[in-house]
Chain A
């Protein structure tokens, strides 16, 4: 392709002078109205045809163009009294401050200025501080600016007409001292005497279903301005009292201020009849939904689709299940070459999925393939043509879930066309996308060039993203039932008959058996080992390690130490730390992404089979306590409460020892929080003993597949202390949180301790405390997401075109050196060994 390189040397923004506004205006707008009864634009009105046309059939009276060819032209109105431009009011005030109120010279002697000083802060502040004019000797009153458009001199508000007068008297050479270029920005131009009226194309009226016309907000605002301008003119001509004139003048100022920005400070927004604030010029440009971010930086794409996601453990992590409906609709371009021309023709002959939808010839003309032109197109198909066929199994696509916070929020998957209406994804890729299946939707994009396909496959394929570049540990990991299943299978004493072992391995797509044990049975570990790559050696402590004395390694009674030699699991069980961490990362780094993918795919299927084979469920029985156990828990709770009471007594008779840097009261609160926290945690050990390791809830907490000990405690024992802002709940009435407590009761129950469990149910006051604590965490998440979102936006904007060059130096798009060595060590955390 040919490029003509043109560099923009500079862009200069200047102010409109009233002369320029009038010069470029095609019509002076005088009528505060739009259309007449016949629906025809009124001459001299806001929809005057000189400013362009929006109705088909009419022609622009300035250029003769139609709706499609005329870009529109500016008109203007002459304001009978000058009005401050609110966006420049602050600058105007600064100019007045730095110039003399009577002779309008800059408040500094000529001799005191040398060329380098111009624009310096010292010079400006000297002028601002001047009390007397060095030229005419006039005393200077203090000038104060009040938002949005008032400028006070001493105690008197200056009229726009006076301001304009003063500003226009400033000599050109003094303007340079003030930091203005008189050619492009005379300060009096900041006080409006003529207002440009934007072309109608910028503010088209819309016709409602009822046939009524509805005008744009900008037009509404302009109507207001013209109307007030006319009233002001009539009153001036009639010689109305000064007071009325000033009121109308101020009203005109208000309308013009809100015309530019309807969100200016200290001023009520102008509203539509319905009470909705008007969207005026500033509002059109500003913010996320403004012209810049929404229309100019915002882009839309084709060849993409979006639907709800649901899980499928039977597909590969590299795959994505695509509904037939979507595969029918999306297309992939195929270049016709001498090697594939026959296959292309074959594909073109098809009338059902997968078929060719479009054919593009060498002339670049794109034609839809239909029955009637099929033969003709097949006959003329030639090398260099491009056919677009429907999406097929194995096509690389980019799959994404918003918010796209890191690079693994967009990964390349291979298509697998499936029945149904949802995208199917493997459960192990939920963590990188942060997806679940409670109604989440995801997007899919089909790369449209060979280069894009290659990049997606080589750089973004899921199997190459198993380890996160963020922290160097696995992120595409087994979870929940997948972990539980692997645990159940690899546990001590699991013996499978040949028949069973065959089913386990068959589920994973493995059709050979390991060596049987001496008893002719197959151990779960041996069956699981079939998933591991040959030559894998690793040893690690699992989550089940109890840290009792010296590690007994291979003879650990809890199976808490994993030993894998040459791909054989000799000792230890699968749980989160290894199966979703160390082991997986080892396979990824030593045996590659493909091996890791195969491991996850097969292990998922085998684990799902295992979890159904052995059976695994949770119910209320998991949390049922007998009478004796209830008493035991009650004892622990009572002891904690008593301890708190003891602390309160000590606090009241001042025998409590104050902690360094804390008040006595803070010390008490700290101690109480610690005691109640300890009380709750101590029930954990009791519950573990009572329920035993076989209780599915405890088991899941231990191996890390779902839930934690805290969840078990809160269901079976009690909820414990609720906190707001990290302390006991204290807000509410004076001296008490709720009217059900005595004032100044410091006891545990009066300050948010919940002694009931979820199994018991909560008392009304407990329910209140729990809700208060729960609300805080919800508010915190909401604030956190908003804050981190904005931070992310700023970071992305700052870093967007930095890259690590092939010499490992970080540069930006201009070639500036940003970092001498990427990350200080040029290491890719994804491939670096864990310490």
Chain B
């Protein structure tokens, strides 16, 4: 391993088992909440110090979209950072 590679920041997303996370832009959140028929505070939670949340820069109150692979193909999950 070269020196520059060693310096490169460790990323949880490099691991095969860590699914893709992204912050949902604010205007989209309302639509999602309507679709799921829940209020923001009833969404499943994730911690602000969750390694994946930290890496994508999600702040308290953000909604995160996670693309998870399951037996029935790719499934979309939502987490409220709280």
Contact = CB atoms under 8 A, between A and B. Distances in A.
A825 B71 contact: yes
Given A809-B36, A809-B37, A824 B44 contact: no
Interface stretch (B3-11, B18-26, B46-54, B74-82): B74-82
B29 interface: no
A500 to B, nearest CB: 51
Contacts of A817: 36, 38, 42-44, 78
22 contacts: A805-B37, A807-B37, A809-B36, A809-B37, A811-B38, A811-B42, A814-B42, A815-B38, A815-B39, A816-B38, A816-B42, A816-B43, A817-B36, A817-B38, A817-B42, A817-B43, A817-B44, A820-B78, A824-B71, A824-B72, A824-B75, A825-B70
Contacts of A807: 37
Given A825-B71, A825-B72, A820 B42 contact: no
Interface in B33-69: 36-39, 42-44
Contacts of A824: 70-72, 75
Contacts of A818: 44
A821 interface: yes
Contact of B76 (A805, A814, A815, A820): A820
A821 B77 CA distance: 9
Contacts of B36: 809, 817, 820
Given A820-B77, A824-B70, 7 more contacts: A807-B37, A809-B37, A815-B38, A816-B43, A818-B44, A820-B36, A820-B75
Interface of B: 36-39, 42-44, 70-72, 75-78
A815 B77 CA distance: 17
Interface of A: 805, 807, 809, 811, 814-818, 820-821, 824-825
A815 B42 contact: yes
Contacts of A820: 36, 75-78
Nearest to A821: B75
Contacts of A821: 75
Contacts of B44: 816-818
Contacts, number: 34
A590 B47 CA distance: 47
Q: Which among A811, A814, A818, A824 has the greatest number of chain B C-beta atoms within 10 A? A: A824
B67 to A, nearest CB: 12
Closest A-B pairs by Cβ, 5 of them: A825-B72, A824-B70, A816-B42, A817-B38, A815-B42
A633 B32 CA distance: 71
A180 B39 CA distance: 36
B64 to A, nearest CB: 13
Contacts of B70: 824-825
A197 to B, nearest CB: 47
A560 B77 CA distance: 47
B49 to A, nearest CB: 15
Contacts of A805: 37
A807 B42 CA distance: 16
Nearest to B41: A816
A350 B44 CA distance: 60
A472 to B, nearest CB: 14
A749 B44 CA distance: 61
A807 B38 CA distance: 12
A809 B33 CA distance: 13
Nearest to B45: A816
A230 to B, nearest CB: 57
A821 B36 CA distance: 10
A820 B78 CA distance: 8
Nearest to B73: A825
A47 to B, nearest CB: 54
Nearest to A815: B42
Nearest to A807: B37
Contacts of B72: 824-825
B32 to A, nearest CB: 10
Contacts of A815: 38-39, 42
Nearest to B80: A817
A805 B72 CA distance: 20
Nearest to A809: B36
Contacts of A809: 36-37
Contacts of B37: 805, 807, 809
A821 B70 CA distance: 12
Nearest to A818: B44
Nearest to B76: A820
B52 to A, nearest CB: 18
A424 to B, nearest CB: 42
A361 to B, nearest CB: 46
B31 to A, nearest CB: 14
Nearest to B75: A824
A825 B72 CA distance: 6
Contacts of B78: 817, 820
A814 B75 CA distance: 24
A818 B71 CA distance: 19
A202 B37 CA distance: 50
Nearest to B37: A807
A145 B38 CA distance: 49
A806 to B, nearest CB: 10
Q: Which among A807, A814, A818, A820 has the greatest number of chain B C-beta atoms within 10 A? A: A820
Nearest to B77: A820
B73 to A, nearest CB: 9
A309 B45 CA distance: 49
Nearest to A805: B37
Contacts of B39: 815
A825 B71 CA distance: 9
A391 B71 CA distance: 48
A827 B15 CA distance: 30
Contacts of B43: 816-817
A44 B47 CA distance: 59
A811 B38 CA distance: 10
A459 B23 CA distance: 42
B81 to A, nearest CB: 15
A508 to B, nearest CB: 41
Contacts of B71: 824-825
A807 B37 CA distance: 9
A815 B37 CA distance: 10
A824 B69 CA distance: 10
A181 B44 CA distance: 33
B72 to A, nearest CB: 4
A814 B70 CA distance: 27
A805 B71 CA distance: 22
A526 B77 CA distance: 54
B79 to A, nearest CB: 10
Nearest to B44: A817
A820 B35 CA distance: 10
B43 to A, nearest CB: 6
A9 B31 CA distance: 32
Nearest to A827: B72
A808 to B, nearest CB: 11
Contacts of B76: 820
A811 B39 CA distance: 12
Nearest to B43: A817
Contacts of A825: 70-72
Contacts of A816: 38, 42-44
B16 to A, nearest CB: 19
B28 to A, nearest CB: 15
Q: Which among A809, A816, A817, A821 has the greatest number of chain B C-beta atoms within 10 A? A: A817
A818 B42 CA distance: 9
B38 to A, nearest CB: 5
A257 to B, nearest CB: 40
A783 to B, nearest CB: 32
A816 B38 CA distance: 7
A304 B39 CA distance: 43
A814 B42 CA distance: 8
